């Protein structure tokens, strides 16, 4: 087996350099295998987060040749054998050490979102009643593994660093998963406009492109939420309707 060349970022938020490594790459290896091999044999203290190694936990997000990816699901045969592979930490978050970044900001965003509240009248003796076709939309958003690749590429967060204005795509689809839950009766539309910054997103689909779970973040999650905000705050007819008839109730499944 031939040795392959790698450059891995080593350092912290203040100082850092790309360090050259060479290691053997065997058939079937993914980028995370390479990082762990280098860690075990050449740089014991090389910092990387990982857990499941099968694309289910979203821990090992890095940038490979500038592209945000899960290192456990990126096969080495995606690259030419003479190509040097550069591995750097997520750009949108402060580096703690090497490939590990401080993602605590994300956890703070989640806390802002009002939890699920199900309509008590739809509970039967055998639990809540909802139909597969009605939950599928929500199940798509719930596939999210919180790898934060979408947060990392969102230019509002990455290039403009407006973390105080926009909760980012991950949490937009978290809101979608609640707002589109067939039995949820909580209202999050005012916060969506005011606190979550739904107006900041200008639909460039960057988040959708990097999602390892192939969630259609922009089209299925963010755009419908933006429409709900527009309906509520900018559409004069619905505003008048709501003033007269009150808030529209969600459709409940029949018993």
Partner 1 sequence: MLDISEIKTIEHDVLIVGAGGAGLTAAIEASSQGMSTGIVMKSLLGKAHTVMAEGGMAAALANVDERDHWKIHFRDTMRGGKFLNVWRMAELHAKIAPERVRLLEEWGAVFDRTKKGLINQRNFGGHRYPRLAHVGDRTGLEMIRTLQDHGIHQGIQTYMECTALELLKNENDEVCGLVCMWRETGKFIIFKAKSIVFATGGGGKAWEITSNSWEYTGDGYALAYKAGAELMDLEFTQFHPTGMVWPLSVKGILVTESVRGEGGILLNSEGKRFMFDYIPERFRSETADTKEEASKWLSGDLNARRPPELLTRDVVARAIYEEVKAGRGSKHGGVYLNIASQRSAEDIKRKLPSMYHQFKILAELDITKEPMEVGPTCHYFMGGIRVDADTTMSSIPGLFACGECAAGMHGANRLGGNSLSDLLVFGYLAGKHATEYAKKIAVHSEFDADQVTKIIRSATDILNRETGENPYLLHEKLENNMQKYVGIIRTKDDLESGIDQLEKINKAYKNVRAKGASQFNPGWHEAIGLGNLLITSEAVARAALLREESRGAHTRADFPEEQKNWLNYNIIIKKGEDGKMKLAKVERPVPNPELERIAKSSIDALEKEIVEERKQEGI
- 121 contacts partner 1 (rule: CB under 8 A): no
Q: Give whichever of 128 and 234 is closer to partner 1, judged by the CB atom.
A: 128
Q: Which of 15, 28, 164, 251 binds partner 1 (CB under 8 A)?
A: 28
Chain positions 128 to 187 lying near partner 1, rule: CB under 8 A, are 128-132, 135, 138-139, 142-146, 174, 177-178, 181
Q: Give whichever of 37 and 231 is closer to partner 1, judged by the CB atom.
A: 37
What tokens were used for 236?
């004069």
- In the complex, the smallest distance separating the C-beta of residue 231 from partner 1, rounded to whole angstroms, is 24
What tokens were used for 57?
């936990």
- 115 contacts partner 1 (rule: CB under 8 A): yes
Cβ within 8 Å of residue 212, ≥6 positions away? 55, 58, 69, 70, 73, 145, 147, 149
Q: In this structure, how many other beta carbons lie within 10 angstroms of the beta carbon of residue 132?
A: 7
The bridge status of strand 85-88 relative to strand 95-97 is unpaired
Rounded to whole angstroms, how far apart are CA atoms 120 and 89? 45
- 234 contacts partner 1 (rule: CB under 8 A): no
Q: Give whichever of 135 and 203 is closer to partner 1, judged by the CB atom.
A: 135
Given a contact cutoff of 8 angstroms between Cβ atoms, the answer to whether 99 and 109 are in contact is no
| Residue 90 CA neighbour count, 13 Å, CB half | 29
The bridge status of strand 3-11 relative to strand 16-24 is antiparallel
- In the complex, the smallest distance separating the C-beta of residue 242 from partner 1, rounded to whole angstroms, is 27
Chain positions 40 to 59 lying near partner 1, rule: CB under 8 A, are 40-41, 44-59
The SS3 assignment for 146 reads: coil
Contacting residues toward partner 1, per CB under 8 A: 12, 26-30, 33, 39-41, 44-59, 73, 75, 96-98, 100, 103-104, 107, 110-111, 115-116, 118, 126-132, 135, 138-139, 142-146, 174, 177-178, 181, 253
């Amino acid at each position: 087996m031939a040795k392959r060349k790698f450059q891995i970022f080593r350092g912290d938020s203040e100082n850092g350099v790309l360090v050259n490594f060479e290691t053997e790459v065997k058939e079937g290896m993914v980028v995370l295998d390479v990082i762990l091999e280098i860690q075990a044999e050449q740089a014991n203290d090389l910092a990387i987060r990982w857990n499941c190694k099968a694309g289910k936990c979203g821990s090992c997000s890095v940038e490979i040749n500038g592209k945000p990816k899960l290192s456990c699901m990126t096969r080495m045969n995606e690259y030419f054998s003479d190509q040097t592979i550069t591995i750097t930490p997520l750009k949108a978050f402060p580096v703690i050490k090497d490939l590990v970044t401080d993602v605590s900001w994300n956890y703070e965003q989640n806390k802002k979102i009002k939890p699920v509240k199900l309509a008590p009248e739809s509970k039967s003796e055998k639990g809540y009643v909802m139909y597969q076709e009605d939950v599928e939309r929500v199940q798509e958003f719930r596939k999210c593994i919180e790898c934060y690749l979408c947060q990392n590429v969102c230019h509002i967060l990455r290039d403009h660093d407006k973390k105080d204005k926009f909760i980012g795509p991950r949490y937009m689809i978290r809101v979608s998963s609640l707002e589109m839950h067939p039995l949820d009766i909580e209202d999050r539309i005012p916060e969506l406009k005011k606190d979550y910054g739904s107006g900041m997103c200008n639909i460039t689909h960057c988040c959708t492109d990097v999602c390892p779970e192939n969630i259609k973040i922009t089209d299925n999650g963010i755009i419908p939420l933006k429409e709900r905000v527009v309906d509520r705050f900018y559409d004069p007819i619905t505003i008048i309707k709501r003033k007269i008839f009150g808030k529209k109730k969600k459709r409940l499944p029949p018993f």
